[in-house]
Structure 1
Amino acid sequence: MLYRQASALTLAVAMGFAFAPAFAEAQDYQFNSVQVEGNQRIQTSTIVAYTGIERGKTVSAGQLNDAYQRILDSGVFETVELVPRGNTLTIKVTEFATINQISFEGNRRLKDDDLIGLIESAPRRVFNPSQAERDAANIAEAYGAQGRVASRVTPKIIRRSDNRVDLVFEVTEGDTTEVERVSFVGNRVYSDRRLRRVMETKQAGLLRAFIQSDTLIEDRIEFDKQVLRDFYLSRGYVDFRVNSANAEVTNERDAFFLVVDVTEGQQFKFGEISVSSEISEADPDLFFDALRVKSSVTYSPVLVENSIERLETLAIRQGIDFLRVEPRISRNDRDLTLDVEFVLTRGPRLFVERIDIEGNTTTLDRVIRQRFKTVEGDPFNPREIRESAERIRALGFFASAEVDVREGSTASQVVVDVDVEEQPTGSLTLGGAYSVDDGFGVTIGLTENNFLGRGQRLSFNISTAQDSEEYVFGFTEPHLLGRDLQFSLDLGVSKTDSSFSEYDTKRAFITPALSFKTSESSLLRVRYTWDRDEMVSRGNDSNGDPLAGPIVLDEIAQGERTSSSVGFTYTYDSRITGLDPNAGFLVQLGADYSGLGGDSEYVKSNAKFIAQRMVFNEEVTLRATFEAGALSWLGNDSSRSIDRYILSPTIMRGFEPGGIGARDRSTIGSGATYDDFLGGNYYAVARFDAEFPLGLPEELGMRGGFFYDIGNLWDLSNVDTSSANNIVGEGGSFRHVIGISLLWTTGFGPLRFNFSKALQKETFDKEQSFDLTIQARF
């Protein structure tokens, strides 16, 4: 049976081969001539060269197909056809038309000049449909970068004579695609509300027409990922990562939900801090004493970088070249600490051969070189070069600034290349303002931050309101004589017509000043001020009685007075090098002595201390401010109200400007009673604030606040009060005020509405229960 089955299978296979069709053999060609038809601009020899076919040589069908593809890939022919006719190969082509002109239709947000720079197609070039499609995609991408992801761009052609076309890009811009909601997954320590305040991308709010950060822009989302990582790392969450950031379109397809998936990890603190040295001349104990970082402090890479900078700076002062600090971090998962050993090592012996700067068409080279602490011939320090690059970008003069390092003329030298792209540095500001004290006003500002490419700042500001006008010119040279010394000059004139006083004022001033750092966290500013001011009478009332009381009249009678003073302001800000990102304090001390000529001689000093901390996972901000001032009048004549301190609502809330302090309430013969505030020589105010979320939708941009102020203004020494018959409040008393605030972040700026109630005050005080100001930032 097995034998019979094998014989049958053999017979079947044999019959299959017998009846199968013969395989077709590939056709070969041999051409003695090549003809080209349809070409107008492209020479025949050029087209034949594209084929790569040589006359008289055998060509296979595959090689003929390759020749066809090479002609088509040249990008200059709309159609290509190869027709073999015996020994002759005929090539029929249709050339692409040339572009006569390019135009854009439907674009309003982006101008033609902006779009023309995004495309590669150009007039008098061959029209290429593939290139036109790529150009359309580039235009659509530019609109997408502005949040108009629904925009469409369609390239179309209009046929002209002589094989020419007009290329038209029809643009449908569409509306901006807003981010309706930003939410987070995986966050347990910090709430969605707190993380949204970190991100650049915002939710669409009521003032979405003025806010551009609520549109969906891919590059901004990538930036937000890095910002979130920096936020967590600075708070010790070293394992933090952003798993994904997905944008989901709403059912109406007019907005997006942005969902950010994060993993927070555990918070780490600094463990053991140590310094070891692999260099004989570097004493580790000396370098350890220079460290600010201590154990049990929340870990932050910024603190590690600051420590490295301090140690390398100390090495330069000690004359130790090429010292590098290598942080070696050991992780302790048991107690959630990171031990950091700062190892002092010898880096490669490299020197900076030169610094090459390119791309600065306006800015002078020296302005960029001033951002470098390194000069030609100095030892090369990679960290210092990176920090210099950041300082160049921080200038705000350039759209982009790249700093790279390459090998110099020898192996021991490097060249630092700086490539920048200029951007406009001037601005014109037109705006309006409102103040409860001064009413509505108009503000006009003209500023140039890079005057003549010298890095100097020039500004002119006009501020007019119902009760005041001010015209100020300012000039700043950030590097006087090439040193880290800032020179500034302010001069201006102002006048007031306040509804809170019975006199007007005029003032002109000139203030040159020098500012320089005294340490990493402190700044000293010394200044000279020439000032000429005058109190101007408003005349008499309808009964012929003066509007101002006897003391103010005596002060008005003094006429114009000038002062010539020197002074200083010392500022220490712990946040610059502070160890806690959620807390900080500011100390500011100042004094002015007037008596270098002029009509007035006095010493005026002031002090301010501000401390702030964010609690409850940074949802609530607590702030305490103490402010005080003292005036010691040294001249033989008496001081005036405008020389003494007058408390405004920005210093003591709950009262009108001049609402507390000594007052002239004299009565004259006709029975008229005056009520003029006189100010005081001394004041002290303490302010306590708490800011917290209200639980309202975040797109409203509203937060709540509570405040408590206590303060006093007193003393009229060196004031001639003999003409008055009723002076009140000269000794003063401490007033107590409580209030609530509504903080509203708008497209016009952060506004603060204060509603207050005085718990303790004098009967003659002028209370102000509502105040609207621009929210100040500490």
Structure 2
Amino acid sequence: MTNRRQETTVAGRGLARWGLALRLTAAGLAGATAIGSVLVPVVAQAQDYRFTNIRIVGNERIEAATILSYANISSGAAISAGELNDAFQRIQGSGLFEKVELVPQGSTLTIQVQEFPTVNVVSFEGNSIMKDDALAKIVKTQPNHVFNPAVAEADADNIARGYAEASGRYGVRVDPKVIRRSGNRVDVAFEIIEGSVSEVQRIGFTGNHSYSNRRLRDVLATKQSGLLHAIISSDSFVPDRVDQDRQLLIDFYRSRGYPDVQVTGVSSEMARDRNAVFMTFNINEGQQYKFGNITTVSEIPELDAAEFSGLAKIRTGSIYSPNAIDIAVTRMEQLALRKGANFVRVDPRVTRDPRTQTLNVQFALVPGDRLFVERIDIEGNTTTQDNVVRREFRTVEGDPFNPREIRNSAERIRALGFFSNAEVNTRQGSGPDQVVVDVNVEEQPTGSLTFGASYGVSSGFGINVGLQESNFLGRGQYLGVQIGTTSDNQQSSIDFVEPYFLGRDLRARVHLWYNTSEDDNSAYSTKRLGITPSIEFPVSENSRLELRYTYSVDRLYNVTSEEEAAASGSSSWSSPILEREEGERTTSSVGYSYTWDTRRSGIDPRYGFTARFGQDIAGVGGDVESLRTTALLRAERKVWHEEVTLRAELEGGAVHKRGDTQLTVLDRFSGYGKVRGFESNGYGPRDRNAPNGDALGGKYFAALRLESEFPIGFPEEYGITGGLFWDTGSVWGLDDKIGAGGIEVDDGMKLRSAVGFSIYWRSAIGPLRLNFSRAVKKEEYDKVQNFDLTISTQF
């Protein structure tokens, strides 16, 4: 590298040597003109030049005819001094020559040129953030092409711009170096000093009265630099992200009833050393509006407005939301299609009443343009099959053209997560009534290999390894393999999902698992192996139904009886109830789950409600006959200008034996994860007369969990929030109650409850949660847990 530096002609940022050569050329032309004026009598200076001979000197690669074509001077024709200068400018402007001189000598014009050298090698030095392959795509200076200093200078600027756009580095310095080689060839080396990332030091807002700076910063894609800024990429300043942030703010306000919101400006000030940026968003919120009168009219005689009015499902007095209008329009247009009215458009006509701050909406059914989809062209999908993209369209070739449906299809394509960019545009087809839909996508990696770590006070330290591919073989299928282990448990599973089974909106899934436990707060071991194929499909806009079949082989073993303990001289033995349940059994069951989730429509982002009900009936073969029922209600709401999140969960379940089946601890419910503040299997029916005191589980469980999450004073870029929780619940009920010494086990419903404080940290290594709890209602034999730490990360 030292020898190379000794051979290097340092051009500097302006490539001064090349620029000096061009200035000397211009001076040479001026001198030649002066010489000509000396040789020609004064009286003849107003006359034109006439050259009968044009001589080309110095050209090696460029043909003389090419140079003459640039000069455009005809032999014997009259030419003025100005036209001679124009010829010089044309030859020089071709970018082929380092030096150009035009020397008139009587009737002979000598065009003397020095060609630019040919580029031998293009290299990059000092780059680590951006690799050579990426930089080579940016520069126009290429090997075996003519070297042009202006192009090299532009390449240096483009490299610096590429760093700014890709990694937020604005202090990058790029110096092009030129190394002379024999044979009129040069090596070009771009010397790069990458500098540091230009971090977003502060994000501020003006004009925001309804929402705090903290809440609005949480909306943006750009984040402030925080404690772990060195490994967080979203705090680097990327100009292209500013427009995205502006739109995110507008969407945020509009979805909350501010239709007139404007982001009037975004100020991005760079620090003097260019390693920090200060951003300020200027917001004009406008007034918050609610929905007023909601009406429907029809301008199409064959369609009755009354049949469509009920599809709006917008309550007068609710906060205005554009999403609610879009969903209503989609419902109405779909009904029109089902009625055979293909060319119908639903226009939402919004009128405002500033006095009451309401927006009245009239949905008008009007005739639409008679356009048809001629074809759908898909480009850019090198791995993903065409049908994976095409099935996101509810429209096929030959169908009536519906602009709203095309927009919805574009959103569904983007939501797949297979593409870094997906653009859906339309253009006129072969006729005035034909439309061609162009889909241009850019694929991105869809597979990942993850390594995870977890820690729980009861379960200890664990390692998780996972392999996921969400676009398996380009077919849009999901394949996932998970392997996890802790000191007491080993869990492994394989999942395969076909989201469009049989070409329909049927989600087919196959789930296989193999789990073992050795000492999960119990003195027995378990092994569980099973498979569950299932089909899931939509029932309504917000609900889905899953149908499944499950086959499993479950084994309960290492249960120590009183006789075995006495024979070995041990004083530790398990409950006779577990002794009677020990062994291996197969379970064959069919089941279903119905889920209703308002987040599917997402009309009001401040609210969310989920309900799930499921049953599994065992006895379709196998050793077990039972009915297992579970239900869950979950609600979430953001309050106090969305600074605080409130959550509530009510969960319950029951399992009943059928026929002569004897339920075991593997069939019953445990207390794990249902009430915080207690260890795994830390509460529920327990044989207190058996030394091991194992938890026996219960046929029933119920739990109510209430919690809140709120800021606790840390800057939001650290991702640290706090929370309070209160859990209460119970596990109860046994069929076989006779325990050690023939004494009946107490299996009654006894409520447990705990209160606590949580710290949430959305850290760079993964979500972390610390729970500090205190059991306020418990039994004396329960095993409490006052602290719990959970870490989950992927890298």
Instruction: Indicate which of 246, 262, 266 corresponds to 1:225.
Output: 246
8 Å CA contact 1:665–1:726 kept in 2: the answer is no
Identify the residue that residue 697 of structure 2 maps to in structure 1.
Answer: 679
Partner of 1:552: 578
Partner of 2:772: 755
Paired with 2:504 and 2:458, the residues of 1 have a C-alpha distance of 42
Residues 257-308 of structure 1: CA deviation (Å, up to 9, x unaligned)? 2222211111111122111111111111111111111221211211111111
SS in 2 for 1:676: coil
Shift of 1:553: 2.5
Could you say which residue in structure 2 is the equivalent of 1:12?
Answer: none
Match of 1:733 in 2: 750
1:707 aligns with 2:728: no
Structure 1 residue 579: Cα displacement: 4.0
Q: 1:424 to 1:702 in 2, by over 3 A?
A: closer
Contact 2:739 2:745 in 1 (8 A): no
Distance 1:28 1:543, change over 3 A: farther
Distance 1:163 1:344, change over 3 A: same
Match of 1:345, as an amino acid? Answer: V
Distance between the aligned counterparts of 1:532 and 1:133, measured in 2?
71
Specify the code of the residue in structure 2 equivalent to 1:548: S
Structure 1 gaps of 5+ residues are 1-21, 668-672
Contact persistence 1:205–1:701 (CA under 8 A): no
Q: Check whether the contact 1:276–1:341 (CA below 8 A) recurs between aligned residues.
A: yes
CA contact (8 A) 2:352 2:359 kept: yes
Which of 149, 155, 166 is the matching residue for 2:176?
Answer: 155
Counterpart-to-counterpart distance in 1, 2:640 and 2:217: 16
Q: Say if 1:666 and 1:727, in contact at 8 Å, map to a contact too.
A: no
Cα separation, partners in 2 of 1:26 and 1:212, compared to 1, 3 Å: farther
Q: Deviations over 1:665-721 (max 9, x none)?
A: 124xxxxx231100101111111111111122333321111111111111112x252
| Residue deviations 1:312-359 (CA, integer Å, cap 9, x gap) | 011011111110011222122222122211111111111112222222
Map 1:328-343 onto structure 2 (within 5 A).
Answer: 328-343=349-364
Q: Which amino acid aligns with 2:461?
A: F
Q: Say which SS state the counterpart of residue 66 (structure 1) adopts.
A: helix
Q: Which residue of 2 aligns with 1:614?
A: 638
Contact 1:26 1:61 in 2 (8 A): no
Deviation at 1:750, TM superposition (A): 2.4
Which residue of structure 2 aligns with residue 654 of structure 1?
677
Provide the C-alpha distance between the structure 1 equivalents of 2:693 and 2:343, rounded to a whole number of angstroms.
72
- The corresponding residue for 1:742 is 759
Match of 1:586 among 610, 621, 626: 610
- Give the letter aligned to residue 475 of structure 2: R
How far off is 1:420 after superposition? 2.2
How far 1:254 sits from its partner (Å)?
3.2
* Superposed CA offset, 1:155-183 (max 9, x none): 21111111111111111111112112211
Distance 1:130 1:468 in 2: 66
- Describe the superposition over 1:40-95 as per-residue Cα deviations: whole angstroms up to 9, x where unpaired: 10011100100112122222222222211211221111121222222222112111
Deviations 1:352-381 (A, max 9, x none): 122222222222221111111001111111
Note the C-alpha offset of 1:774: 5.8
Secondary structure of 1:473 counterpart: strand
The alpha-carbon distance between structure 1 residues 500 and 236, as it changes in their structure 2 partners (threshold 3 A), is same
Q: TM-score, normalised by structure 2?
A: 0.91
TM, length-normalised to structure 1 = 0.93
Considering Cα pairs closer than 8 Å and 6+ residues apart, tell me whether 1 or 2 has the greater RCO.
2
Alpha carbons of structure 1 residues 158 and 345: separation in structure 2 relative to 1, 3 Å:
same
Q: Work out the CA distance in 2 between the residues paired with 1:394 and 1:297.
A: 28
Distance 2:790 2:541 in 1: 32
* Residue matched to 1:695: 713
Aligned to 1:438: 459
Cross-structure match for 2:16: none
Contact 1:277–1:344 under 8 Å retained in 2: yes
Decide whether aligned partners of structure 1 residues 252 and 37 sit closer, same or farther in structure 2, where only a CA change above 3 A counts: closer
Answer whether contact 1:569 1:590 (CA < 8 A) is retained: yes
Q: 1:284 aligns with which of 298, 305, 311?
A: 305
Match of 1:325 in 2: 346
CA distance in 2, matches of 1:418, 1:694: 46
1:604/1:629 contact within 8 Å kept: yes
In structure 2, do the counterparts of structure 1 residues 54 and 560 end up closer, same or farther at CA, with 3 Å as the change threshold?
A: same
User: Which secondary structure state, in structure 2, belongs to the residue aligned with residue 238 of structure 1?
Assistant: coil
Pick which of 126-135 and 603-612 moved more.
126-135
Does the 8 Å CA contact 2:51/2:76 hold for their aligned counterparts? yes
Match of 1:570 among 589, 594, 603: 594
Distance 1:726 1:653 in 2: 30
Percent same amino acid among aligned pairs?
A: 50
Residue aligning to 2:4 = none
User: CA separation of 1:192/1:727 partners in 2, compared to 1, >3 Å: closer, same or farther?
Assistant: farther
Residue of structure 2 in register with 1:768 after alignment = 785
SS of corresponding position for 1:55: coil
Stretch moving more, 273-282 or 59-68: 59-68
Q: Contact 1:136 / 1:155 at 8 angstroms: preserved in 2?
A: yes
TM-fit CA distance, 1:767: 0.8
Does 435-444 or 707-716 show the bigger shift?
435-444
The one-character-per-residue Cα deviations of 1:487-509 (angstroms, maximum 9, x if unpaired) are 01111212122341111211111
Decide whether the 8 Å contact of 1:551 with 1:724 is kept in 2: no
Counterpart CA distance in 2 for 1:365 and 1:35 is: 62
Show the counterpart of 2:396: 375
Cα pair 2:295 2:309 within 8 Å, conserved: yes
Deviation at 1:772, TM superposition (A): 2.2
- 2:762 alignment partner, SS class: strand
Map of 2:39 onto structure 1: none
Residues in 2 aligned to 1:487 and 1:699: alpha-carbon distance in whole angstroms: 40
Gaps of at least 5 residues in structure 2 are 1-41
- Does the CA contact (< 8 Å) of 2:259 and 2:288 recur in 1? yes
Task: Within 5 Å, give how 1:631-642 maps onto structure 2.
Answer: 631-642=655-666
Q: Matched residue of 1:617: which SS?
A: coil
| Partner SS state of residue 209, structure 2 | coil
In 1: Cα distance, 2:581 partner to 2:572 partner: 14
* Conserved? CA contact 2:737–2:744, under 8 Å: no
Q: What amino acid maps onto 2:763 in structure 1? A: T
Paired residue for 1:234, among 244, 251, 255?
255
Question: Which residue of structure 2 aligns with residue 67 of structure 1?
Answer: 87
Can you list the C-alpha shifts for 1:747-771, whole angstroms capped at 9, x where unaligned?
1222221111111111111111112
SS in 2 for 1:654: coil
1:396-433 CA-partner distances (Å, limit 9, x unpaired): 22232222222222222222222223222211112222
Distance 1:547 1:67 in 2: 107
- Name the CA distance, whole Å, in 1 between partners of 2:135 and 2:596: 49
Whether contact under 8 Å (1:662, 1:727) holds in the other structure is: no
Structure 2: distance between partners of 1:466 and 1:653: 21
Q: Is the 8 A contact 1:176 1:215 kept in 2?
A: yes
Tell me if the contact between 2:122 and 2:187 (Cα under 8 Å) persists in the aligned partners: yes
1:40 match: 60
Instruction: Give the drift of 1:224.
Output: 0.8
Distance 1:133 1:64 in 2: 29
Structure 1: how far apart are the matches of 2:435 and 2:237? 42
2:295 aligned partner, one-letter code: S
Quote how far apart the aligned CAs of 1:723 are: 5.0
Cα shift at 1:521 = 0.5
Relative to structure 1, is the Cα distance of residues 536 and 722 closer, same or farther in structure 2, using a 3 angstrom cutoff?
A: closer
What does residue 22 of structure 2 align with? none
Deviation string 1:454-474 (CA, Å, 9 cap, x unpaired) is 111111111122221122111
Alignment of 1:123-138 (within 5 A): 123-138=143-158
Change (3 A) 1:243 1:749: same
Give the equivalent residue in structure 2 for 1:520: 541
For residues 228 and 134 of structure 1, what CA distance do their matches in structure 2 show? 36
Q: State the SS of the aligned residue for 1:560.
A: strand
Conservation of the 8 A alpha-carbon contact between 1:460 and 1:473: yes
